Structure 1
């Protein structure tokens, strides 16, 4: 079969999408778009991509594409995704899915109307430890999961301070929508995406706001957020995320699930982006620790997975429907923080 013709919009995180697609034998990145002319030229030259555009509108008008990756600032996820879908393309959109639930619904509706795929890049599913844990959890080893806690804290790690990440009009929020979205999806995925019924949340900005005043830089989002989600099946999930908190670790990522038969943890190692995973269980009155030990079967990137799903006409993970649930929860945490009251889903 002919190779999928792929376009990538936004070449910040988008440069990693190019690499991911290039690993698939039936995928070919033929077009890129970015308003930064220097970045467009540099990445285009590096990957020998001939078609280069200043905007996604120009790219979609000029090129006949099968797949588009949307890797822009959050504010542009919805319009770029809808435009690509309406142009007849499958779309892999970076997280978060959108600025809010309303935009996410519009994206999902556009995908269904166009009969095209919409995948959200929940990339932390695509680690060896996450993939192995998911397969193990799906065997029923945990029993019924009744509580989970999922966190990502940074001691001091405000991304591009003064740039679009810290401006709500461009990002939609702070570390909750940037980091927390990853850990929230990972916990929900391992739990089987139970139906949420209500949410409580709080947000704080003491460190980020003080730094913005000292340095004269724009910053109007939270630097720490916490949420509590109650599900229809009775389970509870706690989520925490921060860009700046007085903790020991530079980077602290951890997801724990507590089940009636066993529990599990996936966490980063030595403040890095490497992970370990363990399962804790009782058998015949004795307590056991089961650790995932390398070598672990390799896991392909989310871009490879998306392309492969299209080529072989098989379901993909991280669907638009799941992305919508995550957006509903993010919105509810922010709304609860604003009102000081629980929010029904």
Structure 2
């Protein structure tokens, strides 16, 4: 069975989705974007036969579509996913799942009603290092992870000024919602415990300073820049586990760090990517380590995995297709996405009120 896919959104992430879908044996039938010229250009670039400036037209003209992928500003994730699910399509959606937990709950309900898969591009779960560490978590090597620290911190990583990334109405927030991957990965390794309380603070230092613009993102535009530059928080779970998080686009640090460090009852560990230049993959160094005590000695094990230039983006997309065909289990679920967004909502609420928030 060949899964037939339509791509909604002609942005840069489409290259990874399309590559992953093709690796899994899917056929890309169309690209749709409100900017029809962009859709046509992308379709030509990726060798896709059909381009649309209207999503309804794509659904009407290509009823054989099995699935869609959604690569648009965050505000539109929920509405487009629900539309596609109600049209009987499986949905793969870029992160974040939506701009808040309430919207994710609506998406989850629509998927359950339609009987279709709803998955999200939490691509860092699909990195070779993450596959390796999850296996250690599942086979008892690590034991129960009591606490973890999640970081995605940048020194100069603001993705443009006045575009949709920095517009709270369109993005839902700044780096906390944009760079949620390590928070998700930490919770994934901890087996997604149910959150109890969140305490956090956001900071707006440097958010208007163009010296802190990253080397990627979108051109400066005329919209607002009204999101945080950094967010720090602490989560307690009903299981007794804890998580600290530090996420930023602009902070006074030495270099960009993308990491999860954890402490288990049998072993600790770390998955890390360090960047020499913020946001440039070709300057990055990946590492994966386990920390154990053996015969009275402290032993640090380096876990060697194959190189992965795209941080699991294509592999994540391939898992979506293989989930539909029954070849693999899904790397993420709507329940997990909902729990993650409750944590993010909780941190923003805590920052606004100055108090811990019960989830």
User: TM above 0.5, one fold?
Assistant: yes
Distance in 2 between residues matched to 1:297 and 1:149, nearest whole Å: 23
**Unaligned residue ranges in structure 2 (runs of 5+):** 212-219, 277-282
Q: Quickly say closer, same or farther: Cα 1:295–1:306, change in 2 above 3 A.
A: closer
Residue aligned with 2:92, SS: strand
2:289 to 278, 281, 284: 278
Q: CA RMSD in A?
A: 2.0
Distance in 1 between residues matched to 2:275 and 2:308, nearest whole Å: 22
Residue aligned with 1:49, SS: coil
Asked whether the equivalents of residues 15 and 43 of structure 1 are also in contact (C-alpha less than 8 Å), the reply is no
* Structure 1 counterpart of 2:67: 67
Residue aligned with 1:20, SS: helix
Distance in 2 between residues matched to 1:248 and 1:217, nearest whole Å: 30
Q: Quickly say closer, same or farther: Cα 1:314–1:255, change in 2 above 3 A.
A: closer
Distance in 1 between residues matched to 2:316 and 2:184, nearest whole Å: 14
Residue aligned with 1:158, SS: coil
Distance in 2 between residues matched to 1:220 and 1:266, nearest whole Å: 32
Asked whether the equivalents of residues 200 and 341 of structure 1 are also in contact (C-alpha less than 8 Å), the reply is yes
Distance in 1 between residues matched to 2:284 and 2:318, nearest whole Å: 20
Distance in 1 between residues matched to 2:356 and 2:112, nearest whole Å: 32
Q: Deviations over 1:46-100 (max 9, x none)?
A: 2221221113233223222101101110000000000000000000011110011
Distance in 1 between residues matched to 2:56 and 2:306, nearest whole Å: 44
* Structure 2 counterpart of 1:342: 356
Residue aligned with 1:187, SS: helix
* Structure 2 counterpart of 1:132: 132
Alignment of 1:117-156 (within 5 A): 117-156=117-156
User: How much does 1:270 deviate?
Assistant: 4.4
Alignment of 1:37-76 (within 5 A): 37-64=36-63, 65-76=65-76
Q: Quickly say closer, same or farther: Cα 1:294–1:247, change in 2 above 3 A.
A: same
Distance in 2 between residues matched to 1:292 and 1:231, nearest whole Å: 29
Residue aligned with 1:247, SS: coil
Q: In terms of mean alpha carbon deviation, does 291-300 or 66-75 score higher?
A: 291-300
**Unaligned residue ranges in structure 1 (runs of 5+):** none
User: How much does 1:16 deviate?
Assistant: 2.0
Asked whether the equivalents of residues 36 and 51 of structure 2 are also in contact (C-alpha less than 8 Å), the reply is no
Deviation beyond 6 Å, 4+ runs, structure 1: 296-300
TM value normalised by structure 2: 0.90
Q: In terms of mean alpha carbon deviation, does 332-341 or 272-281 score higher?
A: 272-281
User: How much does 1:5 deviate?
Assistant: 1.0
Asked whether the equivalents of residues 10 and 72 of structure 1 are also in contact (C-alpha less than 8 Å), the reply is yes
Q: Quickly say closer, same or farther: Cα 1:311–1:76, change in 2 above 3 A.
A: same
Asked whether the equivalents of residues 167 and 223 of structure 2 are also in contact (C-alpha less than 8 Å), the reply is no
Distance in 2 between residues matched to 1:29 and 1:273, nearest whole Å: 31
Q: Deviations over 1:131-186 (max 9, x none)?
A: 1111111111122211110100111111132210000000000000001x101110
Distance in 1 between residues matched to 2:46 and 2:3, nearest whole Å: 16
User: How much does 1:218 deviate?
Assistant: 2.4
User: How much does 1:217 deviate?
Assistant: 6.1
Distance in 1 between residues matched to 2:251 and 2:59, nearest whole Å: 42
Distance in 1 between residues matched to 2:149 and 2:324, nearest whole Å: 34
* Structure 2 counterpart of 1:252: 257
Instruction: Say whether residues 1:18 and 2:18 are aligned partners.
Output: yes
Q: In terms of mean alpha carbon deviation, does 186-195 or 58-67 score higher?
A: 58-67
User: How much does 1:38 deviate?
Assistant: 3.4
User: How much does 1:314 deviate?
Assistant: 4.8
Distance in 2 between residues matched to 1:28 and 1:324, nearest whole Å: 30
* Structure 1 counterpart of 2:299: 288
User: How much does 1:42 deviate?
Assistant: 1.8
TM value normalised by structure 1: 0.93
Residue aligned with 1:208, SS: coil
